[in-house]
Amino acid sequence: MNINRWVTRKDSNWQTLNRLLLQAEKKGLKSLSADEIKQMASLYRSVTADFAKAKTNKLGKNLTQKLQSLTSRGYSQIYQGNRRQEWQGVKEFYTWGFPQVFRETAIYTAIATAIFFIPALIGWWYGWHDPAFLDLTVPQSLIHKVRDQGELWMGSILGNQPVASTGIMTNNLGVSFKAIAGGATAGIFTIIIMAYNGLHIGTIGALVTKYGLGYPFWAFVAPHGSLELPAIFLAGGAGLLIGKAMVFPGKYSRIDALKINGRKAAQLTFGIIPLMIIAGVIEGFFSPSLAVPSAFKYIVGAIIFGLLCLYLGKKKPSEVEIT
């Protein structure tokens, strides 16, 4: 192997890569054109092979160190740059993308909300007027605690907040994922989950209100429920999106409709996860706190819900029409 000839032949590539890396290091990858980024990636792969060859053939310490430096800098720019772009994409999604997909699919979320609240009202009505209905739908231990002892059951969270918060998050995410996955049954399982949870909270609401514990109960629910319930409605909407594509694909083939609606359902899922995590933290640490007045919990719940509405209503500047 003629080392000098090999170095002469490769040197222009190394210089070009060094120039591109210097520009990226000083001004960022955005300062490079698409063609320059492709060229840098290609030259990086080439210099990686050159570095391996120089090291294997012991072509001199200076040359090896030079190629090692180019390889290290190239890796940093190409792969860490990709990571930065990925994080930028995540930031972009949660800043603008999630609110946009919410607005695009709002009708499905509204339907899921209705499926939840109609059974909730039925559960409330029968729970209030028919003790036998309460016995069928609410655990006896809970009825005994509320009716006979005049107490709520959330005190068990106190003193065990980290574990309770984790369990709450896991449970809530599980309900959401089931509602979304239920779309694969043509939306039938999604409807069942939404209706069941609505019936459950309506019946519980009737129980606690009937025995004079409605005010502290809803004070407990308000802070975390302002995020948790909308997240469940969004999950139901995502499941209905998938179900709709299966049953009523419209002008698209069923496969294409599933791809389109499935993508939107996935975006809703990514948006739901942080809401559920935050709600779980609030439910584990803030909602059951005896040191916080109930009135303040209602205020916090209203503020959180208002902020959520403002967030979901956000429009990217390019979406706003200039008049």
Q: How far apart are CA 11 and CA 199, in angstroms?
A: 74
Q: What is the pLDDT of residues 209-224, one digit of tens each?
A: 999 999 999 999 999 9
**280-298 mean pLDDT:** 91
Q: pLDDT digit string (tens) for 69-94?
A: 888 888 877 776 555 556 677 788 88
Q: How do residues 150-193 score in pLDDT, each as one tens digit?
A: 888 776 655 565 655 666 677 888 889 999 999 999 999 999 99
pLDDT score recorded for residue 250: 87
Distance between CA atoms of residues 247 and 186, nearest Å? 6
Closest CA to 225 of 250, 204, 256, 249: 204
| DSSP code, position 293 | -
State how far the Cα of 181 lies from the Cα of 262, in Å rounded to an integer.
Answer: 11
Burial of 321 by CB count in 10 Å (0-12 exposed, 13-18 middle, 19+ buried)? exposed
